[in-house]
Amino acid sequence: MISKEQVLKSAGLAKIKLTQAEEDKFSKELSGIIAYVDELKKVDTRGVEPVAHAIGLEDAFRKDSKEPNIHIPQGRELLNQAPKTKDGYVVVPRILADL
Amino acid sequence: MEISDMTIKKTRELLGKKEVSASELVSYYIANIEKENKDLNAYLSVFNDDALKQAKKIDERIEQGEEIGLLGGIPVAIKDNILVEGKIATAGSKILENYISAYDATVVSRLEAAGAIILGKTNLDEFAMGSSCEQSAFGPTKNPRDRTYVPGGSSGGSACAVAGDMAMAALGSDTGGSIRQPASFCGIVGLKPTYGRVSRFGLMAMASSLDQIGPMAKNVYDAALIFSVISGQDENDATTLPEGSFEMDDKIFSGDINGLKIGLPKEYFIEGLDDNVRGIIEKSVKDLEARGAVIKPVSLPHAANGLATYYLIMPAEVSANLARYDGIRYGYSVARENSPSQSSSGHSALRASDSMRPSVWDIFVESRSQGFGDEVRRRIILGTFALSSGYYDAYYHKAQLVRALIRQDFVDTFKNVDVLLTPTSPTLPFKLGDRMQDPLSMYLADVYTVSANLAGIPGISVNAGNVNGLPVGCQFLASFRREDLLFRVAHVYEQIVNN
């Protein structure tokens, strides 16, 4: 089960707002999904190491050189997609006053 | 020979003999797209001028007797969550409606280097989250075999483009079945490669430990050919495997499956499997046995937990990956000039702060709430919950443990058999709209495909036949890096089905 409060808290953490109608709809739907995934509680996992990555690749190092290894896209083109820029920086509203 | 009947192999042959030109091919597909796309909605954007220009270049090279590459002159479609430089990439989301790709995905540059011609970008469930192609912000795609049915998803646009004769092949992405299930629903071939064999650089991340790009094509040989072009390590994707590149080899397509051991996992043939699908798949087993394959019943004890495991791990990764859509750097933003201060989707207007200007928090919340559709928001909330303090151990961590068991089942089973044979989907394609009101019923469409992503192994879906005009797909699974075995058995299998 997942309560409406838990849904709202998770939505808030994810910076998502729900309308009144959506609160009820999502709570009902997510409860159904959580009830379904709860079957995992019955699986015996004693002594099992968790898997985060199926292939188990570890420590992929880039070449140790001063040349850029990764093809870096045009910064300007990326910057152009921001709502507001100034002198090559993304502009955001000041945040300290809001804290 | 009609272009609609031509495979990549045949087309390359005819291009070489100058019996068809790349320009003719591109013009043919553009004409079909113009005629059909309004109704089918397979493409979100079409690159007529670029494609024709590219075709002309290929034709000139043929004229000059130059090499044109393994896929020279072949018109292909690209799922719209894969970047093509300078072109809009929406991922089926309103939040990226006007987003312009700043660079090419590695798969795109590899296709182009091999001479392929990109026709356009195809529709998908928003950020590849869905099993029917109905969750796109730009309307559903229809199944070209019967337009009242869904094409499957999330790579429904790519499947529709190939099955609907609007491209010779396409690329899709598969996080839990998003290549194989639409291939099954549309009656074509779809390959989900081993995790790490194809670069994900330039693919919009959905669930990074599961996502993989793969080919969708008219037959197994074509899928293998495209896979040989796009596979291989990429320094821009640290999760690509060393020596991951696949080489074409005629021996794979010799038609010999004598002695090949095919496992039938009993957990895939239980309640919930449609009788029509079961009948066709059981017949396929007999046919393969008649060709010399050895059929063995096997068990994957944790197969039944695959879907639940997937629906915790995937949303958890989704919630992290989609945090980047913040309305600050790119994409839909309420901070953009001329953006509506009041959303049409029922969200209240921005909080009128002291300065009457939105705070950075307002920009996050409003941009995301207005920009994401229902399914994406549902999964982000679910994933955030599964990762949150107090629930992490019970959900996300538990799913990681069960994932280890699911993976181990495959490792153990592939000690005894070469490939596994299963249905791709438990049911026939469903009607448009049928499962939109019940997310869990939609999720069940992935029940046979998600385990391959959790384990990282490759899988292929091949058409097995039709029921009342609706295609049924047969899925083969193999061990890590054994796509060659998938091609070998699937190639024989499609010959059986076609005859």
Q: What is the pLDDT of residues B136-156, one digit of tens each?
A: 999 999 999 999 999 999 999
Q: How far is CA B257 from CA A74, B338, B488, in A?
A: 50, 63, 7
Q: Which of A42, A53, A55 is the best residue to mutate to test the B interface, defined by the most B CB atoms within 10 Å of its own CB?
A: A55
Interface touch A39/B311, C-beta < 8 Å: no
Write out chain B residues lying below 8 Å of A28, CB-based: none
Residue B251, C-beta contacts closer than 8 angstroms, at least 6 positions apart: none
Instruction: Round to whole Å and give the CA distance between B398 and B313.
Output: 10
pLDDT surpassing 90 at residue B66: yes
When pLDDT is cut at 50, 70 and 90, the band that residue A98 belongs to is low
Residue from B280, B257, B285, B294 nearest B492 by CA: B257
Write out chain A residues lying below 8 Å of B440, CB-based: 29, 32-33, 36
pLDDT value of residue B350: 45
Instruction: Round to whole Å and give the CA distance between B191 and B179.
Output: 7
Interface touch A78/B357, C-beta < 8 Å: no
pLDDT value of residue B342: 41
Interface touch A14/B347, C-beta < 8 Å: no
Token pair 């549902």 is at which residue? B378
Convert B418-466 into a string of H (helix), E (strand) and C (coil): CEEEEECCCCCCCECCCCCCCHHHHHHHHCCCHHHHHHCCCEEEEEEEE
Q: Is A1 on the interface with B (CB under 8 A)?
A: no
Q: Which residues of B192-212 are buried (b: 16+ CB within 10 A; e: fewer)?
A: bbbbbbbbbbbbbbbbebbbb
- Name the 3-class secondary structure at B114: coil
What is the rounded (10 degree) CA torsion for B440, B173, B227, B78?
130
Instruction: Round to whole Å and give the CA distance between A84 and B4.
Output: 48
Token pair 């004890």 is at which residue? B301
| Per-residue pLDDT tens over the stretch B183-233 | 999 999 999 999 999 999 999 999 999 999 999 999 999 999 999 999 999
Interface touch B381/A30, C-beta < 8 Å: yes
Residue A82, C-beta contacts closer than 8 angstroms, at least 6 positions apart: A90, A91, B328, B329, B330
Token pair 């507001």 is at which residue? A84
Residue, of B463 and B358, whose pLDDT is higher: B463
Active site (catalytic) residues of B: 79, 154, 178
Written as six digits, the tokens of A92 are 């955001």
Instruction: Round to whole Å and give the CA distance between B54 and B446.
Output: 38
Residues linked to residue A86 through DSSP beta bridges, in sequence order: A89
pLDDT surpassing 70 at residue B341: no
From the list A26, A55, A70, which residue is nearest B378 (CB)? A26
Interface touch A83/B333, C-beta < 8 Å: yes
For residues B26 and B119, the answer to whether their CB atoms sit within 8 Å is yes
Instruction: Round to whole Å and give the CA distance between B375 and A93.
Output: 30
Angle between the N-to-C axes of helices B8-16 and B48-63, in degrees from 0 to 180, rounded to the nearest 10: 50
When pLDDT is cut at 50, 70 and 90, the band that residue A25 belongs to is very high
Residue B260, C-beta contacts closer than 8 angstroms, at least 6 positions apart: B292, B293, B294, B418, B419, B485, B488, B489
pLDDT surpassing 60 at residue B76: yes
pLDDT value of residue B337: 65
Instruction: Round to whole Å and give the CA distance between B152 and B425.
Output: 10
pLDDT value of residue B353: 43
When pLDDT is cut at 50, 70 and 90, the band that residue B344 belongs to is very low
Interface touch A33/B382, C-beta < 8 Å: yes
Q: What's the half-sphere exposure (Cβ side, CA atoms, 13 Å) at B482?
A: 20
Written as six digits, the tokens of B252 are 């794979």
Instruction: Round to whole Å and give the CA distance between B492 and B474.
Output: 13
Give the mean pLDDT of chain B: 94
pLDDT surpassing 50 at residue B351: no
pLDDT surpassing 50 at residue B97: yes
From the list A17, A40, A54, which residue is nearest B456 (CB)? A54
Q: Which of B107, B357, B382, B444 is the best residue to mutate to test the A interface, defined by the most A CB atoms within 10 Å of its own CB?
A: B382
Report DSSP state, residue B324: G
Q: In chain A, which residue ranges form alpha helices assigned H by DSSP?
A: 4-13, 20-37, 75-79
Write out chain B residues lying below 8 Å of A54, CB-based: 195, 209-210, 403, 407, 453-457
Q: Which residues of B432-457 are buried (b: 16+ CB within 10 A; e: fewer)?
A: beebbeebeebbbbbbbbbbbbbbbb
For A:62-81, CB contacts with B below 8 A are 62-63, 69-71, 73-74, 77-78, 81
Q: Is A99 on the interface with B (CB under 8 A)?
A: no
pLDDT value of residue A62: 75
Interface touch B239/A55, C-beta < 8 Å: yes
Residue, of A61 and B234, whose pLDDT is higher: B234
Residues of chain B with pLDDT > 70: what percent?
96
The phi and psi torsions of B418 (rounded to 5 degrees) equal: -85, -45
Write out chain A residues lying below 8 Å of B236, CB-based: 70-71
Write out chain A residues lying below 8 Å of B96, CB-based: none
Q: Which chain B residue lies closest to A21 (C-alpha atoms)?
A: B346
pLDDT surpassing 60 at residue B387: yes
pLDDT surpassing 90 at residue B109: yes
Structural element, H or E, at residue B103: none
For residues B422 and B472, the answer to whether their CB atoms sit within 8 Å is no
**CATH numeric code, B3-259+421-498:** 3.90.1300.10
Question: What does DSSP say about strands B459-467 and B470-478: parallel, antiparallel, or unpaired?
Answer: antiparallel
pLDDT value of residue B364: 96
Interface touch B305/A52, C-beta < 8 Å: no
Token pair 């089918």 is at which residue? B40
Shortest Cα distance from A66 to chain B (angstroms)? 15
In this prediction, residues B311-320 reach a mean pLDDT of: 98
* Single-letter amino acid, residue A80: N
pLDDT value of residue A16: 97
Written as six digits, the tokens of A7 are 């849904």
Residue from B66, B65, B72, B64 nearest B23 by CA: B72
Shortest Cα distance from A31 to chain B (angstroms)? 10
Residues linked to residue B117 through DSSP beta bridges, in sequence order: B75
